[in-house]
C-alpha cells in the first residue's frame, strides 16, 4: 500500500473564483452587448449590475492583491455578450482583447487562469428571441462561442469549465439562469433545459478533448443532503436528491450516459426532455479531467413536508428542515465542514476522477470604519473546511487539485447584494453608493496568506 504523507503537492492550486457580472462592471463599453443581468434594476436590498467592483478597469490592482496573498490560480468567467454581443453573430474584438490582456496579466504574476464560459448571464438577444437554453439554437450558439474562446485562449489557458453549477439547471433555478423569459415552467421544460445544457457542455468538452491539450471538467453546486430522521422515506428522499441533482450529471461527465434511475423516471412519468436519437452520439464521447464543484453548506430533508407527487428535482424547495447539530450563518446557510469532506470522498470513491473544489466561503455583513476588519468567523470557516479537505486527502486518499475560495475580494452576491460579503479583501462600496471602491485587506487576508505560504501545513491563528 502506498504510504500517505501529510503534505500537499507543490503544484496544489490556491486561489479565487468569481463571475464576470459580479466583478467587471463596464456593462456598456467597448462593444459589449446586453445580458439578462444588465437590464435588472436595483432593489432595496440589491445593486444593479452596471458597475460591480469595476474589475474591467482595476484587474491589475486585484491581481496584485491575489499575488501578494500567494494565490496561484484564478477562476474567472468570460462574459458571452462582451465577446459576442448578440450571442449569435459577429465576435467583438475589443471584448476579446480585454480577456487577452487579463490572461496575460495573470500569467505575468504566475497565476494560472481557469475559464468558466457561462455563469447565468445569457445574452439578452438570445433570451428574448429563443427563450434561452429551452432552444437548441442556443445550444449551437453556445458551442460556437465557446469553441471560439478555446481557439483564442487555449494556448495560455489549460483549465476550463462550461457551466457554473450545472446541476442548478435540474432545479427550479433552471428557468432563471437559463435565459428563460416566457413560458409555464413545466416539468417537460425543466428537463429540456437540463438536457440542452448538457448537450452544450458535451459539445465543448468533446471539442477540447479532440482538438487541444486543455483540461475540462463538469461543475456542480454540491450541497450535502441528510435525511431529517431515520424514517426510511426521509432516507429515500435524500438519496433521490443526490441521484437526480448530482449523480445524474456525474454519470454523464465521467461515463457519457445519464442515470438509469432518472431515465426510468422520465419514461414512467411521460416527461418529454427532447432526447433526440443522435444525442447519444454526442454524450457517449464525454469525459472529464476533473470534477469541479462549489460547496457552502448542507441541507436536511423531511419527506413529511414534501407534497405527494412532487418531482425529486423539487424536494429541496418543499422539505428543507433545520439541522439541530449545525451552526447557521446569518443568511440561513448551515455550516458543515464534515459534509465537504464527505462529498470529496464519496464522489472520488465512485468516479475516480480528481476533485477540484472551486467555490467555498461564507457571506457576512461587514462595515469598514477605517480599521482592519477582524473577521475571525471567516478564518474559522475556511480553516475548518480546509482541514476537512486535508482529511479527505490524507485520511481518505482523495486526489484534490486545489482549493479556490469564492469572491475572496468582495463582490455583490448572486442576488446583487453587496451586503453579503465573502472576501478576505473589503471593497468600499454599498448597494446604492459606489464610493471609491478602495480595496482593504481584512484579518483573514493575512491568515490565508500564511496558509498558502505553508501550502496548507499551518492552519493555526496568526501569531
Q: Say whether 165 is catalytic.
A: yes
Grid coordinates representing 397 are: 486518499
Average pLDDT in the chain: 97
Residue 6 has what pLDDT? 87
- The secondary structure of 374-411 as a DSSP string is --HHHHHHHHHHHHHHHHHHHTT---B-EEEEE-SB--
Q: Note the pTM of the prediction, 2 decimals.
A: 0.97
pLDDT digits (tens, 9 = 90+) for 224-242: 999 999 999 999 999 999 9
Q: What does the CA dihedral 302, 308, 311, 312 come to, rounded to 10 degrees?
A: 30
Which one is catalytic: 24, 243, 359, 390? 359
Q: How far is CA 407 from CA 349, 412, 459, in A?
A: 29, 9, 20
Distance linking the first and last C-alpha atoms of the chain = 38
Enumerate residues 6+ apart whose C-beta is below 8 A from 462: 443, 446, 447, 450
DSSP code for 244: I
Exposure string of 439-452, with b = 16+ CB inside 10 Å and e = fewer, is bbbbbbbebbbbbb
Grid coordinates representing 65 are: 492583491
Which one is catalytic: 55, 165, 224, 243? 165
| Fold topology of 13-454 | TIM Barrel (3.20.20)
pLDDT digits (tens, 9 = 90+) for 415-429: 999 999 999 999 999
pLDDT digits (tens, 9 = 90+) for 352-393: 999 999 999 999 999 999 999 999 999 999 999 999 999 999
Q: Say whether 359 is catalytic.
A: yes
Amino acid at each position: 500500500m502506498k504510504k500517505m504523507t501529510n503534505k500537499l503537492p507543490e503544484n496544489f492550486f490556491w486561489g479565487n473564483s468569481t463571475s464576470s457580472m459580479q466583478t467587471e462592471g463596464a456593462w456598456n463599453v467597448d462593444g459589449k452587448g446586453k445580458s439578462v443581468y444588465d437590464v435588472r434594476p436595483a432593489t432595496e436590498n440589491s445593486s444593479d449590475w452596471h458597475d460591480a467592483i469595476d474589475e474591467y478597469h482595476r484587474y491589475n490592482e486585484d491581481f496584485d492583491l491575489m499575488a501578494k496573498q500567494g494565490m496561484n490560480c484564478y477562476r474567472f468567467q468570460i462574459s458571452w455578450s462582451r465577446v459576442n454581443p448578440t450571442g449569435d453573430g459577429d465576435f467583438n474584438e475589443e471584448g476579446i482583447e480585454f480577456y487577452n490582456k487579463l490572461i496575460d496579466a495573470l500569467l505575468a504574476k504566475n497565476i494560472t487562469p481557469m475559464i468558466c464560459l457561462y455563469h447565468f448571464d445569457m445574452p439578452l438577444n438570445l433570451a428574448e428571441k429563443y427563450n434561452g437554453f429551452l432552444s437548441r439554437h442556443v445550444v449551437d450558439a453556445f458551442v460556437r462561442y465557446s469553441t471560439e474562446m478555446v481557439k483564442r485562449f487555449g494556448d495560455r489557458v489549460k483549465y476550463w469549465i462550461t457551466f457554473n453549477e450545472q446541476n442548478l439547471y435540474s432545479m427550479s433555478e433552471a428557468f432563471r439562469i437559463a435565459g428563460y423569459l416566457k413560458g409555464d415552467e413545466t416539468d417537460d421544460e425543466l428537463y429540456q433545459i437540463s438536457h440542452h445544457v448538457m448537450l452544450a457542455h458535451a459539445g465543448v468538452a468533446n471539442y477540447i478533448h479532440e482538438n487541444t491539450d486543455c483540461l475540462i471538467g463538469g461543475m456542480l453546486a454540491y450541497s450535502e443532503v441528510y435525511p431529517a430522521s431515520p424514517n426510511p422515506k426521509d432516507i429515500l428522499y435524500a438519496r433521490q436528491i443526490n441521484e437526480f441533482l448530482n449523480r445524474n450529471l456525474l454519470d454523464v461527465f465521467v461515463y457519457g450516459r445519464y442515470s438509469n434511475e432518472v431515465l426510468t423516471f422520465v419514461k414512467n412519468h411521460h416527461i418529454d426532455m427532447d432526447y433526440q436519437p443522435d444525442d447519444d452520439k454526442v454524450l457517449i464521447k464525454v469525459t472529464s479531467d476533473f470534477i469541479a464543484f462549489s460547496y457552502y453548506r448542507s441541507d436536511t430533508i423531511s419527506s413529511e413536508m414534501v407534497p405527494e407527487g412532487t418531482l425529486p428535482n423539487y424536494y429541496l424547495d418543499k422539505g428543507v428542515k433545520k439541522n439541530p447539530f449545525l451552526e447557521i450563518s446569518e443568511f440561513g446557510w448551515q455550516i458543515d465542514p464534515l459534509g465537504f469532506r464527505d462529498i470529496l470522498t464519496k464522489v472520488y470513491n465512485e468516479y475516480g476522477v480528481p476533485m477540484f473544489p472551486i467555490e467555498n466561503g461564507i457571506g457576512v455583513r461587514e462595515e469598514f470604519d477605517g480599521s482592519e476588519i477582524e473577521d475571525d468567523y471567516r478564518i474559522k470557516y475556511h480553516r475548518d473546511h480546509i482541514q476537512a479537505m486535508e482529511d479527505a486527502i490524507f485520511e481518505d486518499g482523495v486526489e484534490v487539485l486545489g482549493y479556490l475560495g469564492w469572491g475572496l475580494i468582495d463582490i455583490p452576491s448572486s442576488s446583487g447584494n453587496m451586503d453579503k460579503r465573502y472576501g478576505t479583501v473589503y471593497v468600499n462600496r454599498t448597494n446604492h453608493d459606489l464610493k471609491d471602491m478602495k480595496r482593504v485587506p481584512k484579518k483573514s487576508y493575512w491568515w490565508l496568506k500564511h496558509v498558502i505560504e505553508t501550502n496548507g501545513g499551518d492552519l493555526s491563528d496568526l501569531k
